[in-house]
Amino acid sequence: MAQLQRPPFVYMNGKLTGWDDATVHIASEALIRGISVFEGIKGYWSHDEQTLSLLALRAHYERLVNSARLMHLPFALPYEEFEHACALLVRKLCVPEKDLWIRPTVYAREGHWGEGTVSDLAITCYHQEKRLPGRIKIGVSTWQRPLDTGLPARIKSAANYQIGRLARIEGRAQGFDDMVLLNPWGRIAEGTGSAVLIVRDGCVISPPSYEGCLESITVCIIGRLCETLEIPFERRPVDRTELQVADEIALAGTLMELGIVSQVEQREMPARAPIFERIRDEYWACVRREREHASIVLTAV
């Protein structure tokens, strides 16, 4: 079982705060109704370990702003102040041996059913190993992503991850590392915390957002990498049965990066995934500043 890290500091109430002092009142809507939105941002050391950079920081900020707007959470912090807050915490906690994962959360501190809502920004930061993601086994969950009129996947909210949590518990009992969530039409939506990509006939394919998946920053990056690498890339609905005939399958996200699937349900995938391995290696080289690519936007801290 993974153990939650307890870093000495978080960013809260506009300043660095001790871990044990970072508390939320028991009556806040963040607790009693799950009213919060968040992002996950990866911090990478350069290959020479001279520079620590945050990947796609502005894109994550903009998605956080959109999620807050859709959740009716007031959040007016300018990007420059958001960048400063992230950098302040990262500089305090970074060590050369580890990458970082930063989680900014905007939560409802005060308010009642959307009236008189007061929000706050909290940022936590955790160490990550400097290694490529290993191969993963996935299943297909009995839990589904709801319609946009039910619980919109476009909102990266804590509430949206309740279904993912249930699916992870379901999959763990079956020996899977992650689970694929279908949408109400029985097609592929996404994983519990990552996008789903497949390869068919040399083309990388991923479901569009209207299929019930988060608007993935990582998938956008992968699409642009594919263009440079001259690999066809397409966004279209993906049937469940395509998991059984796909040449390659992967999950993609900030924390997952590009995790290549070794088994889907009872199907063993080929030992090699040449297209996804090529994309993964290019992604890794660019975030490590070994190479440059316009889609890999790094903010040095």
CATH of the domain at 243: 3.20.10.10
Do residues 124 and 140 share a domain?
A: no
Do residues 161 and 34 share a domain?
A: no
User: What pLDDT, in 10s, does the model give residues 53-110?
Assistant: 999 999 999 999 999 999 999 999 999 999 999 999 999 999 999 999 999 999 999 9
Residue 25: CATH number of its domain: 3.30.470.10
Share of the chain above pLDDT 70, in %: 99
pLDDT-derived band at 144 (thresholds 50, 70, 90) equals very high
Do residues 180 and 240 share a domain?
A: yes
The answer to whether the beta carbons of residues 150 and 29 sit under 8 Å apart is no
Q: Is residue 25 part of a domain?
A: yes
Structure tokens at 125: 């930061």
Do residues 181 and 281 share a domain?
A: yes
Do residues 177 and 84 share a domain?
A: no
Q: Is residue 220 part of a domain?
A: yes
Q: What is the pLDDT of residue 288?
A: 97
**DSSP H or E stretch at residue 102:** strand 99-112
Do residues 233 and 152 share a domain?
A: yes
- Number of domains the chain contains: 2
**pLDDT (mean) for 251-259:** 96
Do residues 268 and 173 share a domain?
A: yes
Q: Is residue 33 part of a domain?
A: yes
Q: What is the pLDDT of residue 4?
A: 83
Do residues 280 and 224 share a domain?
A: yes
Chosen domain end from 128, 161, 184: 128
Q: Is residue 300 part of a domain?
A: no
Do residues 189 and 268 share a domain?
A: yes
Q: Is residue 2 part of a domain?
A: no
Task: Give how far Cα 58 sits from Cα of 25, 55, 78, 81, 295, Å.
Answer: 30, 9, 11, 12, 12
Q: What rounded mean pLDDT belongs to the chain?
A: 96
pLDDT-derived band at 1 (thresholds 50, 70, 90) equals low
Chosen domain end from 98, 128, 158: 128
| Domain residue limits at 162 | 136-287
Chosen domain end from 128, 159, 175: 128
Does residue 142 carry a pLDDT above 70?
yes
Share of the chain above pLDDT 90, in %: 98
What's the one-letter identity of residue 167? Answer: A
Structure tokens at 247: 């040449």
Q: How many residues does the chain have?
A: 301
Do residues 141 and 232 share a domain?
A: yes
In whole angstroms, what is the distance from residue 137 CA to residue 148 CA? 28
Q: Is residue 227 part of a domain?
A: yes
In whole angstroms, what is the distance from residue 202 CA to residue 204 CA? 7
Do residues 189 and 112 share a domain?
A: no
Q: Is residue 299 part of a domain?
A: no
CA 264 to chain centre: 21
Do residues 32 and 61 share a domain?
A: yes
Q: What is the pLDDT of residue 2?
A: 56
Q: Is residue 161 part of a domain?
A: yes
In whole angstroms, what is the distance from residue 169 CA to residue 179 CA? 9
- Could you tell me the sign of the dihedral formed by the alpha carbons of 111, 117, 121, 124, in that order? positive
Number of H helices, E strands in the chain: 6, 17
Relative to beta strand 52-55, strand 41-45 is antiparallel
